[in-house]
């Protein structure tokens, strides 16, 4: 990878990842699976083309969370890092919350809003 690399990783530092900057698709997912797996009200995702993404340190543990998706998390500290969807095999979805600078990547869309918790604003 050349130039500036956007980086992120898990809470304990066992896993680090990176990818080149671009205007990537972002969304807040309010589905019940994201909620349960993260323990948070919703999860903010960013879609990175697979060929632009790389692990810098370690590799996460795989969890087949449904027939449509596989999720990856740090097996040391549990941070949810990545999701792969069968429908979009060329993309890797990273959790914006695991980026080093999540403030730079405001999610632009909301999905599964029918599952959104009533106390989540907006
Ligand atoms: Zn970790
Ligand atoms: Zn979801």
Q: Which ligand is nearest to the CA of 32?
A: 2
Q: 88 alpha carbon to ligand 2 midpoint, in Å?
A: 14
Q: 105 alpha carbon to ligand 1 midpoint, in Å?
A: 22
Q: 60 alpha carbon to ligand 1 midpoint, in Å?
A: 8
Q: Which ligand is nearest to the CA of 33?
A: 2
Helices (H), the chain: 32-38
Q: 5 alpha carbon to ligand 2 midpoint, in Å?
A: 26
Edge-to-edge strand ranges of the sheet holding 16-19: 6-9, 16-19, 53-57
Please list the residues that pair with 66 across neighbouring strands: none
Looking at residue 122, what is its pLDDT?
64
Tens of pLDDT, residue by residue over 92-121, are: 999 999 999 999 999 999 999 999 999 998
State how far the Cα of 87 lies from the Cα of 113, in Å rounded to an integer.
20
Task: Decide which of 3.50.50.60, 2.170.150.70, 3.30.1450.10, 2.60.40.10 is the CATH code for 6-115.
Answer: 2.170.150.70
Q: 32 alpha carbon to ligand 1 midpoint, in Å?
A: 23
Beta-strand pair 110-111/25-29:
parallel
Q: Which ligand is nearest to the CA of 8?
A: 1
Q: What is the mean pLDDT of each run of 10 residues along the chain (122 residues)?
A: 83 98 97 96 98 97 92 97 96 98 97 97 75
Closest alpha carbon to 26 in 95, 79, 103, 89: 95
């Amino acid at each position: 990878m050349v130039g500036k690399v956007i980086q992120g990783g898990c809470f304990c530092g066992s896993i680090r990842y990176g990818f080149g900057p671009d205007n990537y698709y972002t969304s807040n997912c309010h589905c019940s699976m994201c909620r349960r797996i993260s323990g948070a009200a919703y999860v903010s995702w960013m879609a990175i083309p697979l060929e632009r993404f790389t692990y810098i340190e370690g590799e996460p543990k795989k969890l087949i969370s449904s027939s449509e998706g596989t999720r990856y998390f740090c097996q040391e500290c549990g941070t949810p890092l990545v999701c792969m969807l069968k429908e979009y095999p060329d993309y890797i979805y990273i959790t914006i919350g695991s980026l080093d600078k999540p403030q730079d990547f405001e999610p632009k869309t909301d999905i599964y809003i029918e599952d959104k918790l009533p106390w989540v604003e907006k």
